Amino acid sequence: MLPDGIVIRLGELTLKGRNRHRFEHKIVKDIRRVTRAFSKIVMEQQFGRVYVTLNGEPYEGVAQELKKVFGLSSFSPVYYTESELDTIRSKALSLLTSESVKPGTFKVTVRRADKNFPYDSQEMNRLVGGYILQAVPGLKVDVHRPDVDIRVELREDRAFVYSKMVEGTGGFPLGTNGKALLMLSGGIDSPVAGWLAMKQGLELEAIHFHSYPYTSERSQEKVKDLVRKLAEYAGPVTLHMVPFTEIQTRLVQDYNDNLLITIMRRTMFRIAEQIAGSCGAMAIVTGESLGQVASQTLPSLHAIGQSVSIPVLQPLIFTDKQDIITIAEQIGTYPISILPHEDCCTVFLPPSPSTNPNLKVVQAIERSLPWLPELIEQTVQQTEAIQVGPGEPDRFENLF
Ligand code: ATP
Ligand code: MG
């Protein structure tokens, strides 16, 4: 049996209070965006739900896209019938018998949106349930934990019958908690951090530091591919490409010792903070995870974090690598992340990076690099913004 439509439940838990209307509006907009390719579907929004009529579009394809919408709590494939007892009964029965595993217990839950329907919900529960009980030998009713819960919704124009609940991604609708700037490398962690930030309702722009020609053009393409993957969830994302080569080569010339990475990363954060300011982002998001590498020990995070005053959000700070990989696989960034690439931080790695940098010492070294603030300014000016959309060609933008 092929579903005729889909009932979508919007974020029931997060959509309370006065934000409800704004949140629902945003989710519905995102549902329209991800399902754009399915031109025959018709959508109708009502009471915290969206009713989709498929009109022949494939349920599985649409369902896969719905899982990319943040703030959507669950959805169900539904089967239409006339709003009439006999047809509802037979549709409910065929739904139950079409289960791949034969159920031992069931229950029927009827919702009567059409108050003119001749029977009320209680009567309908008995009328439909009793009919199924008689038709399927050995089947029992269990109102608490049934194997199958047959739901019937009576509306004016038609009735819906369904039994499956598919969990949505949940979270907050995209952008409803503001905007942040994601520091995106070509690695496994930062795309996952970005996805989690989006799931929590943050709209993202991304920033990538490259050291061309020390890092290859292919590494930059890889970062664009990662952004393109994130854009499948978010729509087009702006990517800021920072030419970091000059700063790095001058740093290495003047100070090539164990605090180099700390200083490099403080410089990256300073640039990110300025770009964030100019694009209206109120936080920086990174893929840092406590203890993972030398630059992610607590003293390192302390010394690096003090370089900026904007909040730095680290969604993965306490997450194990294996759990990060699991999310990366689920969201589809993993196969891109594991392709070989060079990172600007590893190209210029000093022989023994410090795991215990002292902020005062770091600041003293920075004072001995008087050219640094101006070069940061210049690098910000030279940063290019590209818009990367899902499956679209890149488009250049002028930010400054
Ligand atoms: P990832 O898997 O995200 O690369 P990582 O475990 O390799 O992280 P680092 O290389 O120390 O860790 O980077 C820590 C964080 O700094 C990254 O998660 C990312 O947010 C940011 N970062 C690192 N390199 C770059 C870069 N070239 N451009 C932008 N951000 C970067
Ligand atoms: Mg990395």
And the tokens for 204? 């993202």
- pLDDT computed for residue 125 by the predictor: 94
352 pLDDT tier (thresholds 50, 70, 90): confident
Task: Tell me the mean pLDDT in the region 212-217.
Answer: 89
Domain final position from 114, 140, 167: 167
Q: Return the CATH number at 228.
A: 3.40.50.620
Is 289 part of a structural domain of the chain? yes
Residue 345 C-alpha to ligand 1 middle, in angstroms?
8
Domain final position from 167, 201, 233: 167
- Residue 207 and residue 150 in one domain: no
- Residue 189 and residue 211 in one domain: yes
9-13, 50-54, 152-156: least confidently modelled range: 9-13
User: Which residue's CA is the closest to the ligand 1 atom numbered 12?
Assistant: 288
- Residue 159 and residue 252 in one domain: no
Q: pLDDT of 102-122, one tens digit each?
A: 999 999 999 998 888 899 999
And the tokens for 327? 């999310």
Cis before 213 (ω within 30): yes
Total structural domains within the chain: 2
Which atom of ligand 1 approaches the CA of 207 most closely? 29
- pLDDT computed for residue 214 by the predictor: 87
* CA distances to 27, 34, 55, 390 from 39, in Å: 18, 11, 9, 18
pTM of the model: 0.92
Closest CA to 156 of 84, 79, 255, 55: 84
Residue 199 C-alpha to ligand 2 middle, in angstroms?
22
- Residue 150 and residue 261 in one domain: no
Residue 204 burial (CB count, 10 A): 25
**Residues whose CB falls within 8 Å of the CB of residue 400, separated by 6 or more in sequence, listed in order:** 278, 380, 381
Is 98 part of a structural domain of the chain? yes
- pLDDT computed for residue 15 by the predictor: 56
Mean pLDDT of the chain: 93
Is 83 part of a structural domain of the chain? yes
Q: Is 209 annotated as a binding residue?
A: yes
- Residue 243 and residue 205 in one domain: yes
Share of the chain above pLDDT 70, in %: 96
- pLDDT computed for residue 399 by the predictor: 43
344 lines ligand 1 (CB under 6 A): yes
267 lines ligand 1 (CB under 6 A): no
Task: List the domain range (segments joined by +) for residue 31.
Answer: 5-167
Is 172 part of a structural domain of the chain? no
64-73, 145-154, 299-308, 386-395: least confidently modelled range: 386-395
Is 173 part of a structural domain of the chain? no
Q: For residues 126 and 85, is the Cβ–Cβ distance under 8 A?
A: no
**DSSP code per residue over 326-364:** HHHHHHT-HHHHTS----HHHHT--SS--SS--HHHHHH
Q: For residues 313 and 182, is the Cβ–Cβ distance under 8 A?
A: no
Residue 356 C-alpha to ligand 2 middle, in angstroms?
19
What phi and psi, each to the nearest 5 degrees, are found at residue 326?
-60, -45
- Residue 71 and residue 98 in one domain: yes
Q: Return the CATH number at 125.
A: 3.30.2130.30
206 lines ligand 1 (CB under 6 A): no
